[in-house]
Amino acid sequence: MRAAPYLPVVIEGPWREGPGLVRDPQGHAPRAVEAPCDRVPIDLIRATRVRSAPTDLAHFGADITGTDACSDPGRALATLDGFAMPSPQRTIDLVLDRKIVRIERRAVAEKLALRVLDTRVDALDAVPVTARLGAGTLAVRVDGQVGLVLDDSRLWAIADPAVASLNASSPTWISAARWNTYERGPDLVRR
């Protein structure tokens, strides 16, 4: 059985076919960088008509508001994937793969996050911190890849080596065999 927790949305206009929804490769609507807990931007594409035949495409948007997407920890973790915010300990918490990574330096969090929110989302207070990224954390490098070994002893790959520099972590060259011995954490990349 499928559930529909929200009321249907009706978009007025002379429709013959469509609309088409703009979505990411996973099939989701683009996320709102501003107010991600309360707004879902919807980009629509539809055929326009001149006389009786569809002749062109029109692109327009609508916002669904009041989604209350951060009302509980599970929903907040899903909604805020890739976002960072202040932590209770004067550091920054990054939500990554439904986990929280506590980052000591704001500049590092800004490089890794889609956006750093100004205020903390209360629903995340009940979520434990999975790993901590402190200044000077061990960084390792192999064949064009750089990773940070966080306090959970897992290797978290980074796409941008500048993150290591911002964190005062000078990457140490290791062998591919050594790289492969590390248990892997999620990649620390902007979502």
pLDDT tens-digit readout, 11-29: 776 666 666 777 778 777 7
Q: What was the pLDDT predicted at 15?
A: 63
Residue 4 domain-assigned (yes or no):
no
Q: Give a yes or no: residue 1 inside a domain.
A: no
Residue 6 lies in a domain: no
The verdict on 53 and 90 lying in the same domain is: no
Q: Are residues 79 and 126 in the same domain?
A: yes
Q: What is the rounded CA–CA span in Å between residue 191 and residue 189?
A: 6
In a domain, 117, yes or no: yes
| Residues spanned by the domain of 171 | 139-181
**Residue 129 and residue 89 in one domain:** yes
Tally of domains within the chain: 3
Has residue 39 been placed in a domain?
yes
How many other C-beta atoms lie within 10 A of the C-beta of residue 42?
17
pTM over 0.85: no
Sort strands 145-149 and 155-158 into parallel, antiparallel or unpaired: antiparallel
Buried b (16+ CB within 10 A) or exposed e, 85-108: bbbeeebbbbbbeebbbbbbbbeb
- Return the CA Rg of the chain: 21
Within this chain, do residues 56 and 82 fall inside the same structural domain, yes or no? no
Residue after which a domain boundary falls, among 11, 42, 65: 65
- When mean pLDDT is compared across 12-16, 96-100, 132-136, the lowest value belongs to 12-16
| pLDDT-based confidence at residue 129 (cuts at 50, 70, 90) | very high
Tens digit of each residue's pLDDT (9 = 90 or more) over 45-97? 777 766 666 567 777 778 888 888 899 999 999 999 999 999 999 999 999 99
154 and 103: one domain?
Answer: no
Question: Quick check: is 153 in a domain?
Answer: yes
Whether 29 is in a domain gets the answer: yes
Among 99, 117, 133, the domain-final residue is: 133
11, 45, 65 - which closes a domain: 65
SS3 127: coil
Whether 187 is covered by a domain: the verdict is no
CB 79 within 8 A of CB 36: yes
User: How far is the C-alpha of 106 from the C-alpha of 87, rounded, in Å?
Assistant: 11
Does the pLDDT at position 141 exceed 90? yes
